[in-house]
Amino acid sequence: MDDEKKFWVGFNLVKGVGAVRMRVLLDSFGSAEKAWNASQESLEISGLPTKIVQSIINTRNSDKLDRVWDYLIKNDIEVIMWADKSYPRRLVEIEQPPPVLYIRGNLIDADQWAVAVVGTRRVTPYGSQVAEEIAGSLASNGITIVSGLARGTDAIAHQAALNKGGRTLAILGNGVDRIYPPEHRKLAERIITQGALISDYPPGTAPESSNFPPRNRIISGLSQAVIVVEAGEKSGALITAAFAIEQGREVFAVPGNIHAVRSKGTNLLIREGAHILLDSQDVLETLNFAQISQQRVARATLPSNSTEAHLYEILGHEPLHIDEIRAKSDLPIEQVTATLTFMELKGMIRQVGSMNYIAVLESKGDYQIETLEQDI
């Protein structure tokens, strides 16, 4: 772990320094290290409240950062910050992404194909069966299952993914060194071997109730879609669904008995426009997950080149017709057509109908192309 990363951890230890204030510090001082060592006057000039400035000074005058840093190294807890290439690209797209993530286990490129499965802790036999079937089926299709390690639906979803040999990510509302609930220690150990425990809270953070709603934005942020299996009218799963909607993710809800308390939340989501989930195929088709195996083979076997880089630079988030692409690229139409086909197979671009194409943001950085700058 490098020194700059240590100072990101330092600010993460200061209560009240989140994504917005971390951005202020970086804009004002250029690096976390310079901000950490700045004078009280300079910190106040940057626009931080006096109370926060005093907290920063108190923290850096203590030995807390050194103790936490040594603990991270000793316990093999990985730290990922915004500037790291390994920071999940899907998560960095959300509003106010967590500046620092603590990881036990590992994140891999395939985790960009992820779906969250959430629901009530007091799951019914119906909900348990559905959660197991949906999570297991998606995992069998190469989808990473994201959930929160809570009792009930979360645990069932994690377990189902693991039993199918798939990957799963558990997003915690406490430090990654503290497993909550405690009876999920063995499950957490399995997740570390086939995925990761992830938290934006420093190690040692207790599982306080106020920590869990904010962490739900990470569950949805890491995922392409959120599936709510069962939920009451005031369920935490509905908070995750609300974050998903804000972040532009797809939301699926499992329909239930209209008189069942634990189906009131999911039925309400459906009434408000969520996709009705009848089986995993609904998710696979809606998100075009059927191409995953093809995309993975293509990423591994098809070389990137300057033509791909050139076309990718031309494309953006607004659909562009193939004729316009050819004109802007000044390349033969046959070469443009063939290259676009390969790029679509790789997942770099997407056709949105009538030979119109857009670039897919999360693909940047996956390809070693000399003329293409990698995004974080």
- Per DSSP, helices labelled H in 164-291 are 185-193, 212-221, 236-246, 264-271, 280-286
- Most confident range, picked from 194-208, 224-238, 290-304: 194-208
* Residue 212 predicted with pLDDT over 70: yes
β-strand pairing of 275-276 with 250-253: parallel
- State pLDDT tens for residues 165-204: 999 999 999 999 999 999 999 999 999 999 999 999 999 9
In sign, the C-alpha dihedral spanning 184, 193, 144, 203 is positive
* Residue 296 predicted with pLDDT over 80: no
- State pLDDT tens for residues 65-93: 999 999 999 999 999 998 788 899 889 88
How does DSSP classify residue 317?
A: S
Residue 376's pLDDT is: 21
Q: How far apart are CA 41 and CA 304, in angstroms?
A: 50
C-alpha distances out from residue 56 to 37, 62, 96, 101, 269, Å: 10, 10, 20, 20, 42
Residue 2's pLDDT is: 73
Residue 84's pLDDT is: 86
Residue 365's pLDDT is: 40
Residue 358's pLDDT is: 84
Mean pLDDT of the chain: 87
Which helix (H) or strand (E) covers residue 359, if one does?
A: strand 356-359
Domains in the chain, start-ordered, CATH in brackets? 3-74 (1.10.150), 105-287 (3.40.50.450), 291-363 (1.10.10.10)
Which helix (H) or strand (E) covers residue 277, if one does?
A: none
| Size (the chain), residues | 376
For residues 291-303, average pLDDT: 54
* Residue 370 predicted with pLDDT over 70: no
* Residue 301 predicted with pLDDT over 90: no
Angle at 118 between CA 113 and CA 119, to 5 degrees: 165
* Residue 253 predicted with pLDDT over 70: yes
Which has more pLDDT, 23 or 288? 23
Q: How far apart are CA 148 and CA 173, in angstroms?
A: 8
* Residue 233 predicted with pLDDT over 90: no
Rg of the chain in Å (alpha carbons): 22
Q: How far apart are CA 336 and CA 339, in angstroms?
A: 5
In sign, the C-alpha dihedral spanning 271, 272, 273, 275 is negative
* Residue 237 predicted with pLDDT over 50: yes
Q: How far apart are CA 9 and CA 79, in angstroms?
A: 8
For residues 214-223, average pLDDT: 94
**Which amino acid would we find at residue 174?**
N
* Residue 292 predicted with pLDDT over 80: no
Residue 291's pLDDT is: 60
Please state the φ and ψ torsions of residue 37, each to the nearest 5 degrees. -95, 5
Percentage of residues in the chain with pLDDT exceeding 70? 91
Residue 366's pLDDT is: 40
Please, which pLDDT band fits residue 23 given cuts at 50, 70 and 90? very high
Q: How far apart are CA 267 and CA 251, in angstroms?
A: 12
For residues 34-45, average pLDDT: 94
Q: What tokens were used for 5?
A: 């990363």
- Within the chain, how many helices (H) and strands (E) appear? 18, 12
Residue 318's pLDDT is: 75
